[in-house]
Structure 1
Amino acid sequence: MIHPIERTMVADLREHTDRTVTVAGWVHTLRLQSTMQFVLVRDHSGIVQVTHRKADDELTALLDGLTSESAVRITGRVVANPVVKLGGLELIPESVEVLNRATAPLPIDEHSGPEPRLDWRFLDLRRRPAAQLLFAVQTTFEAGMREYAYGAGCTELHTPKLMGTASESGAEVFELGYFGGKAYLAQSPQFYKQMAIAGGIDRVFEIGPVFRAEPSFTSRHATEFTGVDVELAWTTDVEEVQRFEEEMIAHALGRVAERHGAAIREEFGVEVTVPSLPFPRITMAEAHQVLREKLGWDPEGTKVDLDPEGERALSAHMREQTGHEFVFVTHYPAEIRPFYHARPAGRPDLTLSFDLLWKGLEVTTGAQREHRYEVLVEQAAEKGMRTEPLTDYLNCFRYGCPPHGGFGMGLGRMLMVLLGLGSLRDAVFLFRGPNRLTP
């Protein structure tokens, strides 16, 4: 019977001082001197120095033949040595197994630019502790949101990503062949979330892929990203949706601060703060007034959406006024919002909708939905939309669909702001954009 080799993580080596252990990881750096061999070995928990005095033996030859990033398994004795900067410990090797020798030289190094790093993303992730931390934070943040959503009575769904018609009006879509016909990649799970509400599922939650065929080359856009979507039934006002979202975000950030706050501070220089509730609110009309009169923002038109400059300026103003990093911008003009957004009584020019800005970046969009069939048809016609392609969607509202509202969040954007990253490319595992479909 073959017994598996017990592996000890580098972070746990101090518990094994003066004992023989086996570590497995990658060669981080090599210093091969005339009499001594120093090899730094890295696993996901840390780095240990392997120290060996040269001799005319197989072990010396094995260490001499190593290359940076080779995968190795090393068995040796853990020895305390205060001279060693890496935790005051070193590993005196007894045996070395080269599991996969890395080709030299490596295709990227610490001086490589963003595109080469994306080309060799697996090496980039492996070599940078900050990248490893990113995904640990992502896992905790998602778990925190799920924890809150489950506690609030949400049912998690997985909606189709292949659709027979575009899921949002006016946005670019990816079209593909489908058994002699056409299909589209879902721009959001919006219609399916609402279908679930009509199906009697009171609260819906999903984390899944979203596709946008927008030729955008900014630091905050991607053609495929992970969306966090929530839909709540029986809401009487959009304020209930905003309250759900701010509580969910605060809960998830609390989990991140508890588990990773110190590591984020060390690796990214960012202090994770749990926001106070409620988040500040400002209407779109008020935001325009503040931006024009106090901050000199002057885009064309009075009903345009906020541009990145406007978002940053408004967030800075609100932080100065309230001390808060988050702000809900509410009541967007109907002409720049989808047909299914509900409108306040007596104000057909406005919508019961919102965007959430965090440190100057839009991270979510939400609204109270219009749940009345006749009004939906009228609002679709107002935007010049044909109702025939929307038949399946509109049918959900003909047979007693309750009032409801919800929001969609970009997970990558949340992580980008949370960790102070300069680009969405650094906040995802494998980036997809207009010029990138690899690796």
Structure 2
Amino acid sequence: MPRTLVRDLAAHIGQQVTVYGWVNSLRLQRKLQFVIVRDHTGLVQVTHKRPDGGGELEELIEHGMPPESAIKVTGIVVANEVVKLGGLELVPTSIEVAAKADTPLPIDKQSGIEHRLDWRFLDLRHPEHRVIFEVQTTFEQAIREFAYAEGCTELHTPKLMGTASESGAEVFKVKYFDTTAYLAQSPQFYKQMAIAAGIDKVFEIGPVFRAEPSFTSRHTTEFTGIDLEIAWIDGVEDVMRFEERMLAHALAAVHEQHGAQIADLFGTELVVPTVPFPRYTMADALKLLRERGWDPSGAKVDFDPEGERTFSAIVQERHGHEFAFVTEYPISIRPFYHLRPADNPAVTESFDLYWKGIEITTGAQREHRYDVLVKQAQEKGMKLDPLRSYVDCFRFGTPPHGGLGAGLNRILMVLLGLDSIRESTFLFRGPNRLEP
């Protein structure tokens, strides 16, 4: 018999159907046996009346299908307003155990995150954990829809590189035949090559690797990056306008499809942002923070986590907005390829985007003039030979351009109000985790 999903059972009252799923729980009483069956669309109660003298079905339910066993249940859909799960139940005529689960289960609801990650496939059977990736799917689809509508070309750039993509730090080395390759810490240079190739707008959603020995709730050694580059811009403002519209579109799609579910499962209200987002220069943001007592010595030139949270709180107070751009970062903390404005060469035409106290995006207008780019690389102490295939892109007429990079897993963490990026990553990778 064809499979019927739990969410569709209400359309089959009085009919015989077959449901595939897992044993969520069992309640075995003297006269009745109750089995809660779970598939990816919901839960249904299977109600079996114990027959006089027992029987194979009674014995199977009693001893042959512990929680998390994979089963197929064939039975009649019966309306029963007493049943809390949708006001209906399934009265079984047969049950097939596709795969019996071992007992006891290695994790439960009280298990800590690290132990749950050891058994991630079991952990994700819980709806509140699995829905994270349903939200991710909707978010990615909406990002792509927006990018395609804006005329972007989707590329897939190499993840094996002959030289470190930016500074040589925070990269993983891998043996590559008789030489050394590096896992890409960013598709940055390849996006700019696409611009030099005449592709006006390019984006990618793909893996990014960072060899950072960080153990914070927001860092991971492998994540999914959302990267964008657009040509013929008038300034970095064009990039920020693109991103705020893109995020507003994607979050509206998530709100429409999952808003109620997010509120119910995570206790988080997803607010679709209005555009434009507030904008502050780094100098102005630091001034506001110091007025609140942050960094009393005045020595810091960038935010720390406390500064990020305080800044976002100030933005919320002033604008009632969860997002804010911070612009004009000093050249000392930005890469050599960020453009420096002629009227203020101590800063860069760059930005970070903050959401609820966490940085989710870094972007900038790039330096597209070959001679200026080379000079800035030399000032940063960069060796040009390993960068030759990159800097050569700017010798033959590359237009003004800019772009951004954002972490999908970090965005999901903030969107759902999760405590750690470990929760918003299918299989987390960190300094001490390469399994499962």
Instruction: State the TM-score, normalized to the length of structure 2.
Output: 0.98
1:400-433: per-residue Cα shift (whole Å, max 9, x none)? 1111000000001111111111100001111000
Question: What is the match of residue 71 of structure 1?
Answer: 70
Give 3-state SS (helix, strand or coil) of 2:394's partner: coil
Paired position in structure 2 for 1:276: 274
Counterpart CA distance in 1 for 2:295 and 2:168 is 25
Q: Which amino acid aligns with 2:350?
A: S
Q: CA deviation at 1:194?
A: 0.2
Q: CA deviation at 1:304?
A: 2.4
2:27 pairs with 1:31: yes
TM-aligned CA deviation for residue 132 of structure 1: 1.9
The whole-number CA distance in structure 1 between the counterparts of 2:13 and 2:203 is 48
Native 8 Å contact 1:303 1:333 kept in 2: no
CA contact (8 A) 1:288 1:302 kept: no
CA distance 1:299–1:401, shift in 2 (3 Å): farther
What's the counterpart of residue 433 of structure 1?
Answer: 430
* Aligned equivalents of 1:168, 1:227: Cα separation in 2: 16
Question: Once the 2 structures are TM-superposed, how far is the Cα of residue 171 of structure 1 from its aligned partner?
Answer: 3.5
Cα separation, partners in 2 of 1:424 and 1:41, compared to 1, 3 Å: same
3-state SS of 1:426 partner: coil
One-letter identity of the residue aligned with 1:391: R
Give the secondary structure class of the aligned counterpart of 2:203.
strand
Tell me how far 1:86 sits from its aligned partner. 1.1
**Separation in 2, partners of 1:41, 1:367:** 51
- 3-state DSSP class of the match of 1:425? coil
For 1:272 and 1:219, locate their aligned partners in 2 and report how far apart those are by CA, in whole Å: 21
1:346: Cα distance to partner? 2.9
Say whether 1:9 aligns with 2:5: yes
Equivalence for 1:122: 121
- Whichever residue aligns with residue 125 of structure 1, its letter is L
1:158-208 CA distance string (max 9 Å, x none): 000000001122641101111111000000000000000000000001000
Tell me how far 1:35 sits from its aligned partner.
2.2
Q: Give the CA deviation at 1:81.
A: 1.2
Aligned residue in 2 for 1:50 = 46
**Under a length normalisation based on structure 1, what TM-score does the superposition of the two structures give?**
0.97
Which of 34, 40, 61 is residue 36 of structure 2 equivalent to? 40
Return 5+ residue gaps in structure 1 as ranges: none
Q: Is residue 241 from structure 1 mapped to residue 227 from structure 2 by the alignment?
A: no
Contact 2:208 2:224 in 1 (8 A): yes
CA offset digits 1:238-263 (Å, max 9, x no partner): 00000000000000011111111111
SS of 2:205's partner is: strand
Deviation at 1:335, TM superposition (A): 0.7
Matched residue type, 2:117: L
Q: Deviations over 1:336-360 (max 9, x none)?
A: 0000000011322100000000000
| Pick aligned residue for 2:137 from 127, 139, 143 | 139
The answer on 1:319 being equivalent to 2:309 is no
Give the conservation status (yes or no) of the 8 Å contact 1:75–1:94: yes
Aligned counterpart in structure 1 of residue 348 of structure 2, from 342, 348, 351: 351
- Say which of 409, 413, 419 aligns to 1:412: 409
2-structure distance, mates of 1:432, 1:70: 29
SS in 1 for 2:314: helix
Cα distance between partner residues in 2 of 1:270 and 1:321: 22
Code of the aligned partner of 1:111: Q
Match of 1:333 in 2: 330
Q: Is the 8 A contact 1:203 1:233 kept in 2?
A: yes
SS at match of 1:99: strand
Letter in 1 for 2:145: E
Distance in 2 between residues matched to 1:424 and 1:174, nearest whole Å: 21
Question: 364, 377, 402: which one pairs with 1:367?
Answer: 364
Contact 1:9 / 1:45 at 8 angstroms: preserved in 2?
A: yes
Q: Which runs of 5+ in 2 are unaligned?
A: none
Deviations 1:256-296 (A, max 9, x none): 11111111111111111211110000000111111112x11
1:174 maps to which residue?
A: 172
Q: Is 1:382 the counterpart of 2:403 in the alignment?
A: no
130-139 or 92-101, which deviates more: 130-139
Count of residues in correspondence between the two structures: 433
Shift of the alpha carbon at 1:299? 6.9
The answer for the alignment partner of 1:423 in structure 2 is 420
- How far did residue 301 of structure 1 move? 5.6
- 1 CA distance for matches of 2:405 and 2:50? 60
SS in 2 for 1:146: helix
Provide the rounded CA distance (Å) in 2 between the counterparts of 1:37 and 1:347.
76
Identity of aligned residues (%): 67
